[in-house]
């Protein structure tokens, strides 16, 4: 970094944009990327100058640590455009904070705050035409860091690459979501990396999820690996249970991700006078509540999905269908959260940040 | 694959070798690679033709699944050169078998047997000058597979790359190895991916290992995550405990890797009339045995380290030093295994395969 120009980011614009070749009505989640990306390399114990440049493939050595030992973390965020063409980020400080917690757990360097936040702001600002107006349209933001140092000794890399890529998106899920409660497979260990957004946590879920898909379920609700009696989270979402008029969700822990949507929904619910309890939720009590009719709703919460109502779940080969409610708390909270994100309602929490 | 030429591998040799620039006396493990590598791509549901070509970096899209979701598995193997300049592999079928089990667990395609085995043979044959004579000198072999498909949706890739790279090596560890028994952190969950050689299992250990290193210990002996009472494995090794004249090692499970060195040592020990019990080993019994003097040896077993005697361990801030024995079973077994690997002793098991 030049001492007279701290926190400077190089911007090398592409000569032409591919935006006109993109059909924004038929986007498939996470498969279209904008013209530019941010790249910042960590070498010899320090971060170099971030560069915003053309989105393009890059070279890695076959022995790069990310291929062999999975040192890789990421975040998921979104940008939203309001009616006045202003672009908004939602609680980027929370993503930065979690990103650096993930980095520590994976023995990776923490990214400097300004590289993450200012890099994000300048990149999204440059790509603001890719953020389309209208509820459901977003620019999905993927900050990530990978170990790029070479060598097949099982030890942390000394070289890393931090990147931000952007993907225009419509809503993540479509159709009804049915889930299966895990009875054998697990997502995280006590003393493991479940609380980190580490790449390996996700591929570990692919096979059990594939088995669930084959049975007609879209996701798994994970249980604790020791006893499979506590409901923890879904693969890409935290999970809430409504019994009568109280919401229950598992407390964040070293097994459970500290979801930004999760904590925002809790704050919103509390403001609305809805009772929320963060405590262990047991399979037994949910089955009992499903049977006696007091289980009103189950829903996932995550950046990609925002709020995802679950229509039913399976446990020990029995399927429990959830009631169809006129007055869904899930949809109420989703509406309130979405309106804040799109600057359609006052943000009394100070969550949104204008780009 | 051409129907008339099944199982054909393309070989594109480099014009010149870098072998003369390598100092084989001062090799640092896993940091020098040979002239060639094997590459085979999986597209549209099938494996393409394998190619042996120059070892070199390759391009990946920033959204490649391996960066975001950690779909990556590997194996560790070695080639050995005997006095007659013959080159030997050790139980490659076992590595293939485990590789494909890892692939299934990580929702990746199984590699075809001939691509793995014949690819390995032809690559090592081409690079046989890189295998140096003399006990301790080996060619470390790293087969691996990564998800190369692009897109940041959390779902398995449809495109994969299988590669084999080779690294000349001297012995993996030097100096005395002290270990710490895990009391908080964990390596694997019940129903998790501990039995797979998945990349993410290794980076998950880096931070706890770093903390152990800072306290003067080289490795961690992992315990079960639910109770931390059972001794499971070390980060890159299975682990054996000798109480009086019996060896104990944890049974393989979904938490514990089915080590090739582990199972070979068990077979060797049994042939030598040494009693081996594969059963849960409890921290309590090891502490008790250390106190009463019946704990004679603790050693790690793995491809990189072969057999790694442990000089002492720490548990709950107490350090237990192991006796220095004239008649170490660990060293006896290491000697017998190594002699088979280097074709210095008869291989009654049929483990070795000539290249």
SS3 B60: strand
Which residues of chain B does A182 touch, with a Cβ-Cβ cutoff of 8 Å?
A: 191
| pLDDT for position A281 | 97
**What domains are there in chain A, each with its CATH number?**
10-169 (3.30.470.10), 177-341 (3.20.10.10)
When CB atoms are compared, the residue of A153, A184, A190 closest to B191 is A184
| pLDDT for position A2 | 47
When CB atoms are compared, the residue of B28, B33, B186 closest to A63 is B33
| pLDDT for position A304 | 81
Could you give the CA distance from residue A355 to residue A129 in angstroms, rounded to a whole number? Answer: 13
β-strand pairing of A51-54 with A10-11:
parallel
When CB atoms are compared, the residue of A165, A186, A207 closest to B105 is A207
> CB–CB of B73/B198 below 8 Å?
yes
Per-residue pLDDT tens listing for chain B (355 residues)? 445 557 899 999 999 999 999 999 999 999 999 999 999 999 999 999 999 999 999 999 999 999 999 999 999 999 999 999 999 999 999 999 999 999 999 999 999 999 999 999 999 999 999 999 998 899 999 999 999 999 999 999 999 999 999 999 987 656 789 999 999 999 999 999 999 999 999 999 999 999 999 999 999 999 999 999 999 999 789 999 999 999 999 999 999 999 999 999 999 999 999 999 999 999 999 999 999 999 999 999 999 878 999 999 999 999 999 999 999 999 999 999 999 999 999 999 999 999 9
Q: Note whether A142 contacts B155, CB cutoff 8 Å.
A: no
- pLDDT tens-digit map of A265-282: 999 999 999 999 999 999
Q: Note whether A182 contacts B190, CB cutoff 8 Å.
A: no
Locate the chain B residue with the closest alpha carbon to A151. B31
Per-residue H/E/C for chain A: CCCCCCCCCEECCCCCCCHHHCCCCCCCCCCCCCCEEEEEEEECCEECCCEEEECCCEEECCCEHHHHHCCEEECCEEEEECCCCCEEEECHHHHHHHHHHHHHHCCCCCCCHHHHHHHHHHHHHHCHHHCCECCCCEEEEEEEEEECCECCCCCCCCCEEEEEEEEEECCCCCCCEEEEECCCCCCCCCCCCCCCCEHHHHHHHHHHHHHHHHCCCCEEEEECCCCCCEEEEECCEEEEEEECCEEEECCCCCCCCCCHHHHHHHHHHHHCCCEEEECCEEHHHHHHHHHHCCEEEEEEEECCCEEEEEEEEEECCEEEECCCCCCCHHHHHHHHHHHHHCCCCCCCCCCEEEC
| pLDDT for position A7 | 85
Once rounded to an integer, what is the mean pLDDT over residues A279-302?
A: 97
pLDDT of A24 higher than 70: yes
Q: Decide which of A96 and B3 is more confident.
A: A96
Locate the chain A residue with the closest alpha carbon to B148. A67
CB pairs under 8 A between A and B: 232
Which residues of chain A does B56 touch, with a Cβ-Cβ cutoff of 8 Å?
A: 62
Which residues of chain A does B191 touch, with a Cβ-Cβ cutoff of 8 Å?
A: 182, 184-186, 208, 225, 228
Average pLDDT, chain A: 95
Q: Tell me the percentage of chain A whose pLDDT exceeds 90.
A: 93
Percent of residues in chain B assigned helix, strand, coil, to nearest 5: 25, 30, 45
Locate the chain B residue with the closest alpha carbon to A28. B153
Confidence of residue A188 (pLDDT cuts 50, 70, 90): very high
Could you give the CA distance from residue B322 to residue B345 in angstroms, rounded to a whole number? Answer: 30
Q: Which residues on adjacent β-strands are paired with residue B310?
A: B177
Locate the chain B residue with the closest alpha carbon to A143. B68
| pLDDT for position B174 | 60
Once rounded to an integer, what is the mean pLDDT over residues A60-76?
A: 98
Tokens of A192: 């493991």
Once rounded to an integer, what is the mean pLDDT over residues A124-138?
A: 95
Q: Per this entry, what is the length of chain B?
A: 355
Which residues of chain A does B199 touch, with a Cβ-Cβ cutoff of 8 Å?
A: 66-70, 200
Locate the chain A residue with the closest alpha carbon to B218. A155
Q: Which residues on adjacent β-strands are paired with residue A198?
A: A73
Nearest to B147 by CA among A66, A208, A108, A143: A66
Confidence of residue A174 (pLDDT cuts 50, 70, 90): low
SS3 B188: coil
* Closest Cα in chain B, distance from residue A31 (Å): 5
Which residues of chain A does B164 touch, with a Cβ-Cβ cutoff of 8 Å?
A: none
């Amino acid at each position: 970094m030049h001492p007279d120009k701290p926190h400077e980011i190089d911007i090398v614009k592409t000569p032409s944009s591919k935006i006109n070749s993109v059909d924004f009505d038929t986007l498939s989640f996470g498969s279209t990327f904008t013209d530019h990306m941010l790249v910042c390399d960590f070498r010899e114990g320090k971060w170099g100058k971030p560069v915003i440049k053309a989105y393009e493939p890059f070279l890695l050595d076959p022995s790069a640590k990310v291929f062999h030992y999975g040192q890789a973390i990421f975040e998921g965020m979104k940008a939203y455009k309001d009616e006045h063409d202003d672009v908004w980020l939602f609680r980027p400080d929370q993503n930065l904070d979690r990103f650096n917690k993930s980095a520590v757990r994976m023995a990776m360097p923490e990214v400097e705050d300004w590289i993450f936040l200012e890099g994000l702001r300048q990149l999204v600002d440059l790509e603001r035409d890719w953020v389309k107006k209208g509820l459901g349209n977003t620019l999905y933001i993927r900050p990530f860091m990978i170990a790029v140092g070479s060598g097949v000794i099982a030890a942390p890399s000394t070289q890393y690459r931090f990147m931000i890529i952007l993907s225009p998106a419509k809503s993540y899920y479509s159709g009804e979501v049915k889930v299966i409660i895990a009875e054998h497979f697990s997502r995280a260990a006590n003393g493991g990396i479940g609380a980190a957004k580490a790449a390996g946590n996700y591929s570990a879920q692919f096979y059990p999820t594939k088995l669930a898909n084959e049975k007609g379920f879209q996701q798994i609700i994970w249980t604790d690996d020791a006893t499979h009696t506590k409901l923890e989270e879904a693969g890409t979402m935290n999970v809430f249970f409504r019994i009568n008029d109280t919401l229950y969700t598992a407390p964040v822990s070293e097994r459970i991700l500290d979801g930004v949507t999760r904590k925002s929904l809790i704050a919103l619910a509390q403001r609305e006078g809805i009772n929320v309890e963060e405590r262990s939720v047991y399979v037994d009590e949910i089955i009992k509540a499903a049977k006696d009719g007091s289980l009103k709703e189950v829903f996932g919460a995550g950046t990609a999905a925002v709020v995802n109502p679950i229509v039913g779940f399976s446990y020990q080969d029995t399927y429990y269908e959830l009631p169809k409610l006129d007055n869904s708390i899930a949809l109420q909270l989703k509406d309130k959260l979405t309106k804040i994100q799109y600057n359609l309602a006052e943000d009394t929490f100070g969550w949104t940040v204008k780009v």
